Each structure stands twice: as C-alpha cells, then as structure tokens.
Amino acid sequence: MKSVNQLTHRWAAQNGVTSFFLAETDSTNTWAKSDFKDHDFAIYLTDSQSRGRGRGQNTWTNADAGHTWLSTWSFRLQSAAQPIFPMRVGLTVFESFQHLWPQSDWALKAPNDIYLQGGKLGGILIEAEQTGAISKIHIGIGANIYSCPRSVGQATSCLSDEVTVQDGDWFKFCFLLSQRLRELQKDPQRQNLTKDEQA
C-alpha cells in the first residue's frame, strides 16, 4: 500500500508548495513548531508519530505506517487569529473532504473531529505562536485513509473503506484544502461564521 504522506509530499513538489517528509517523528506539530521559521506556508508530513497529540491530554493513535495521513500545515498570519478561527479550520477540512467525496456520510464534531459513516476519521490540533509582531499557526491534521487504528475505545472509520482513493482525487483534495487554508491565512480577523458556515 502506498503512503498517503509521501503522496501528499509529491503533490506539494509538483505544485510549488514547500513540504517536508520524515519516515518517523515524534509529532508533526512539534516538528513544525521547531522548524517553521523562514517560510510563509509549509506542510510537515510523516508516516509514523511516536508522540502524536490531540487536544488537551488526548493522544493520536497511529494505524499502519503510511496508512494514516499525518500532517501539519503551518503558515504566517498578518495578525493574531480570532477565537472563531479553530471552528473555521474544522469547517475547511470537513468541507474539503465532503466536496471530493460527496456520496459519503460526513459529519463535523465541532471544532476538531471529522466523522465518516458514524466513525471517527480524523482530528485537528491547532497551535498558535506569537513572536513579536509575527503570528504563526500550526494545523495538525490526522486522518485514517487506508486503515484504522486498533483498540482505541471508539468507533473509527477509514476513507478507503467507503471510496476508492485514486491518486488524482487525493491531489485534488490537497489542492482544495491548500487553497481554502490560504484563504484563512489572508483573513484571520473575521469574528463570525457566515450563514453558509452556520448551516
């Protein structure tokens, strides 16, 4: 089975998006926070995390190496993000999946859990940094693409169980998500959801 993270890395290289890949790391968010200095927008990818994190005290459990999408999308902001920003990120990720595979039953457990067919497909961990006048955001996204983790105490789902994940479709998903995240990058100060976002 191919690695969804290496596939994302290849998409980024073909589209001029800065990205980095390691076969294993402690956490893509931890890695991004230590490395992201001279970039405007970058993606950090790995096939395996030894210390994957979720919100609060939660941890992220890997499926088989390369089968889970383990990524952090880091970018600079013109100003500090508003409290509604995490909800907007969750909607962005949810809507990107839903747009590419609309025949499936998607749900967002606000603000950071993505569900497919009633099982948890993925989660989002957002961490902000402020260094002087420079604001940075690190959006960790983990999602079960080719298999699910075992023995995690809750129902899980996997994208490839519901749809055939073609390389071209994954590239379209990455492109759509990157464009929508860049829109958030330009507008971190918005304080309310639009009517469409609230629907």
Per residue in 156-167, pLDDT (tens digit) is: 999 999 999 999
Confidence of residue 57 (pLDDT cuts 50, 70, 90): very low
Q: Specify the pLDDT at position 150.
A: 67
Task: Report the predicted TM-score, pTM, of the whole model to 2 decimal places.
Answer: 0.90
What pLDDT, in 10s, does the model give residues 118-139? 999 999 999 999 887 889 999 9
pLDDT in the model for residue 68: 94
| Mean pLDDT over the full length of the chain | 89
Buried b / exposed e over 60-74, threshold 16 CB at 10 Å, is bbbbebbbbbbbbbb
pLDDT reported for residue 62: 61
CA atoms within 13 A on the CB side of 107: 10
Quote the pLDDT of residue 46.
Answer: 96
Tell me the percentage of the chain whose pLDDT exceeds 70. Answer: 88
Q: 120, 157 in Cβ contact below 8 A?
A: yes
